[in-house]
Structure 1
């Protein structure tokens, strides 16, 4: 069995409609924080309707009427994804070694915060950041990752759209 997971972060109240379409094609969706609006979570509609979201460092200033966890997990065929915003592991550039030490049983660790797309596969677990899926500091256009997972193989694809 193979599943797909749309991974986004740092929407700051605006989710690019092209990324909404990517999410709809996936089985699950992850938001790694700085959501800043219930409208963003409502727009995330993967096939299973399962959306995992964690709080970012800007969430306390946003108007979300329910608490979000600081960390979460998603079990998939072949392993587990651990999700957190990442700001507690270094403000400007979260330390991947620190993230790995925090989540040693993960296959992939997802973080946000920097608004910069990253795939660090130099060690296990992999550490990935989808960049910014909204308008704020998206470094050339909104971006996301799509993880495809089976018992035998995991792959992460980068998607970046042109700024409009």
Structure 2
């Protein structure tokens, strides 16, 4: 089973990540989603979508239906071939001791998917693995939007995907206008 792992889209799903979702049976979002549109696009591309609430998934920052936001859990346990994937945003564990706290909180999992830091991390030295796909939108991508793909079977394989940053929309439009006129 192939699963797209992402987080921290903040209302904007990078089109290259949406395209990658088409190769997956499931998309799992670790919070700071930002809008119904992100979940709708993931559901249309992958076979399904699961998501948890992040610290920025609050009524004043959410674009879309309040019912969607209200239905987001703080944590998920996703049984997969070969083990359990647990999901939470990670903001409740603090930065300095996040990994030991996540491992202690999810000792029954094969892997923990989390977000919040916007930093791509694959800590696979100890079980449970700690997986942070980085930022899948445009906010604080740290070198470009990123995600992970999990191939779950008896053995689990993780593949990183980092895409070059896109120029801000205004600059792309201006560059296109210059090319056409000059």
TM bin, normalised by shorter chain, reads over 0.9
RMSD: 1.2
Partner of residue 26, structure 1 = 24
Please tell me whether Structure 1 or Structure 2 has the larger radius of gyration of its CA atoms: 2
Please give the per-residue CA displacement for 1:50-96, whole angstroms capped at 9, x wherever unaligned: 21100000011323422110001211111010000000011x45611
TM-score after normalising by structure 2: 0.84
| Cα pair 1:142 1:160 within 8 Å, conserved | yes
| Number of residue pairs matched by the alignment | 159
Q: In proportion to residue count, which structure has more helix? A: 2
> In structure 2, the residue corresponding to 1:101 is in which secondary structure?
helix
Q: CA deviation at 1:24?
A: 1.2
Gaps of 5+ in 2: 167-182
Gaps of 5+ in 1: none
Output the CA distance in 2 between the equivalents of 1:110 and 1:46. Answer: 20
Structure 1 residues 134 and 93: alpha-carbon distance in aligned structure 2, compared to 1, 3 A threshold? farther
Output the CA distance in 2 between the equivalents of 1:73 and 1:94. Answer: 22
Output the CA distance in 2 between the equivalents of 1:109 and 1:11. Answer: 18
Question: Following TM superposition, where does structure 1 have runs of at least 4 consecutive aligned residues deviating by more than 2 angstroms?
Answer: 45-48, 61-64
Q: In proportion to residue count, which structure has more strand? A: 1
